[in-house]
């Protein structure tokens, strides 16, 4: 992406890297607070907020014309959105939904995240190679937006939201024996 942006905008690598540095800083800054926000406001709300921020930041970036816009879209908006959906997401979901074998569940979630990157990154690279960066970024934004409705419809904050009490959580733990 950096070379694509350099060629398209004529910006130097420092200007582009600054936006990415803001992104990484905010990702790391918000990650510890994501768990607290999920426990306070609900997993579904924070996940939806994070997806909306990610979709907005990536989608708006296809119209950027100045380095400050990249700092805002990729640095701040995408940085906060990705920080809210950091690795603590799996931990909070596991803590709320599973009693036994939480380590295995977190391992499955981490594996799923890695597998997603293993699948998405080559597709993204292919889109960058065949088309331009705007098509690739729009594809990311559309993919993120596609997950918002299922999260709103199907995701629940805790087992009690669907009528599963503590007893049923222990009984469901047999799935991971």
Q: Encode pLDDT of 47-86 as tens digits.
A: 999 999 999 999 999 999 999 999 999 999 999 999 998 8
Work out the average pLDDT over 3-29: 92
Handedness of CA 61, 30, 154, 114 (dihedral sign): positive
Q: Encode pLDDT of 121-132 as tens digits.
A: 898 889 888 988
CA-CA distance, 23 to 54, in Å (whole number)?
Answer: 11
Provide the pLDDT for residue 75. Answer: 96
Residue 162 has pLDDT above 80, yes or no: no
Residue 177 has pLDDT above 80, yes or no: no
Work out the average pLDDT over 146-173: 73
The percent of residues in the chain predicted with pLDDT above 70, rounded, is: 89
Domains of the chain: 2-176 (1.20.1250.20)
Pick the closest to residue 157 from 58, 70, 89, 80 (CA basis). Answer: 89
Residue 174 has pLDDT above 60, yes or no: no
Q: Which positions ≥6 away from 110 have C-beta within 8 Å?
A: 87, 90
Q: Which residue has the higher pLDDT, 175 or 138?
A: 138
Confidence of residue 102 (pLDDT cuts 50, 70, 90): confident
């Amino acid at each position: 992406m950096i070379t694509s942006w350099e060629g398209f905008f004529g910006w130097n690598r420092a200007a582009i890297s600054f936006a990415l540095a803001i992104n990484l800083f905010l990702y790391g800054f918000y990650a510890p607070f994501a768990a607290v926000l999920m426990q306070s406001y609900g997993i579904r709300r924070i996940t939806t907020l994070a997806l909306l921020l990610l979709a907005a930041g990536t989608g708006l970036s296809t119209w950027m014309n100045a380095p400050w816009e990249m700092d805002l879209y990729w640095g701040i908006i995408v940085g906060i959105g990705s920080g809210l959906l950091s690795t603590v997401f799996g931990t909070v979901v596991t803590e709320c939904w599973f009693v036994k074998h939480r380590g295995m569940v977190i391992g499955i979630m981490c594996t799923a995240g890695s597998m997603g990157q293993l699948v998405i990154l080559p597709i993204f690279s292919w889109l960058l190679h065949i088309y331009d960066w705007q098509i690739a970024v729009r594809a990311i934004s559309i993919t993120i937006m596609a997950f918002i409705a299922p999260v709103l419809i199907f995701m629940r904050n805790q087992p009690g939201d669907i009528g599963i009490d503590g007893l049923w959580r222990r009984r469901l733990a047999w799935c991971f024996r």
